[in-house]
Amino acid sequence: MKTVGSKTIFENIEEILAPEHTLLVNWDIQNGLVKNIFNREEFVSNVKKLTGKSRDKGIPVLYTKITPLPFRYMASSSIYSFMKRFGVDDPTKLPVFMAPGSNDAEIYHEVAPEKDDYVLNKHTASLFIGTNVDNMLKNAGIKTLIFTGIATEIGVETSVRDAGTLGYYTVVASDSCSSHSKEMHEVSLKSMSAVSTVMDTASIIKTLEKK
């Protein structure tokens, strides 16, 4: 690593993934999404391995959950997006997406949070918009975020880009992310490679094992 003025600049993946300043984000791994992804078995296996290794290395784990706002507090653009998604022409016909307390809203049981993990209820496709996460991470001395989750091209990519703008190093676990569309997943990974480190789960674990 190099020091420029008061700043320390990491120069390689070992420095970027040092456990003392790294956090794992498991993004929206909820039943209603897991059941529709293209590579469920591989995805779940990889998330389990990476989450377990992170805990072993003392890396904190943050889970996010889609938690819908009451209809009157939703942005009209969000309502429009949901109308397109569910193929309805009247907002009153919309189902409650990821309704709190529903089975769809629960985190997939094979990668369920443990007592020291943090579960964040959030309302947007960004880890940072409408939350206190940036302040929380800075208070905890976090500089690097590892991302897994669903969907690669929506919440994962949005959060990765926002994280970079806010000054975090980001690492995307390519095969611990997924989507209903393999094509969109792959396009998103390629796009994120311009602003983030994109690598497979086994390579991230191998790096962590050196610590």
* φ, ψ of residue 74 in degrees (nearest 5): -80, 145
- Residue 85 is predicted with a pLDDT of 85
Cis peptide before 112 (omega within 30 of 0): no
pTM across the whole model: 0.95
Q: pLDDT tens across 36-57, in order?
A: 999 999 999 999 999 999 999 9
Distance CA 30, CA 2 (A): 40
Fold of 10-67+105-209: Rossmann fold (3.40.50)
Q: Is the pLDDT of residue 109 over 90?
A: yes
Q: pLDDT tens across 128-185, in order?
A: 999 999 999 999 999 999 999 999 999 999 999 999 999 999 999 999 999 999 999 9
The domain locations on the chain are 10-67+105-209
pLDDT classification of 24: cutoffs 50, 70, 90: very high
